[in-house]
Amino acid sequence: MKLNILTLKVILIMLATSTIGCNKTSNTEEGSLPLSLNCTVCSFMEGASNNSNNNDIYLIKGIVLDKIEYGLKIRLVEDLKGNFPENVNTFIVWGGNDRTASYERSDNLSIYNKQDALIMLLISIRDLSVVWFNPNVEKQEDYSTVICTKSVLKLSNGYVTGNIFDYYGVEQQTIPYDDFQKKLNELLTIKTD
């Protein structure tokens, strides 16, 4: 019975991975399922580009209010994409977690501290498959980092740091926030035209 449940979870994970995030290595034939384990994690900008027309993916700037297990309580500062729910000012975001099947949430949120300013790509927990979240902790009104995507950048002293661009394994880049904002605006303008 446990093997059947595990098999079902793997199939659901594969289906979820094929719809969000970067899945560059899943050059599958039409009708076949991509392997979740082959998911290639994409950079923040690739994730923003791939999801610029997806209204289920949010792009926000926020401040860390508190740490909660493997998540963060965030206060919204700015909705950078213009589609975040208007009535939500504070919320919980969940990242990677060893205790659930959500191992493809590639952001370790425990590295951030109270008062850190973050730029984040998010998806509502409601929009994730049941295998991607821990129902004992995560609630339907919460948010998650995007599967197969480096979804969090830190903003500090006028600079953005994180996996901003795809530099073939370079985890951290730092650029001035003004340059980041210009590149992000160009990307979102190009994708929406």
- For every residue of 63-82, which 3-state class applies, written as one string? EEEEEECCEEEEEEEEECCC
Indicate yes or no: pTM above 0.85: no
The domain spanning residue 146 has which CATH number?
Answer: 2.40.50
Cα–Cα distances in angstroms (integers) from residue 169 to residues 33, 105, 183, in the given order: 26, 17, 21
What average pLDDT score do residues 131-142 get?
Answer: 80
Q: What sign does the dihedral 15-18-23-27 (CA atoms) show? A: positive
Mean pLDDT lowest for which of 62-76, 96-110, 172-186? 96-110
Residue 120 three-state SS:
strand
Q: Find how far residue 151's CA is from the centre of its chain.
A: 4
Number of domains the chain is built from: 1
- Looking at per-residue pLDDT, the higher value among 29 and 50 belongs to 50
What average pLDDT score do residues 9-24 get?
Answer: 44
Q: State residue 126's pLDDT score.
A: 84
Q: Is the pLDDT of residue 155 over 60?
A: yes
What average pLDDT score do residues 75-97 get?
Answer: 93
Mean pLDDT lowest for which of 105-114, 118-127, 165-174? 165-174
User: Does a structural domain hold residue 17?
Assistant: no
User: By the 8 A CB rule, do 162 and 48 touch?
Assistant: no
User: Does a structural domain hold residue 26?
Assistant: no
User: Does a structural domain hold residue 36?
Assistant: no
Q: Is the pLDDT of residue 83 over 60?
A: yes
CB atoms within 10 A of CB 75: 12
User: Does a structural domain hold residue 161?
Assistant: yes
What average pLDDT score do residues 173-189 get?
Answer: 91
User: Does a structural domain hold residue 131?
Assistant: yes
User: Does a structural domain hold residue 11?
Assistant: no
User: Does a structural domain hold residue 10?
Assistant: no
- Looking at per-residue pLDDT, the higher value among 118 and 165 belongs to 118
**Domain enclosing residue 109, as ranges:** 44-192
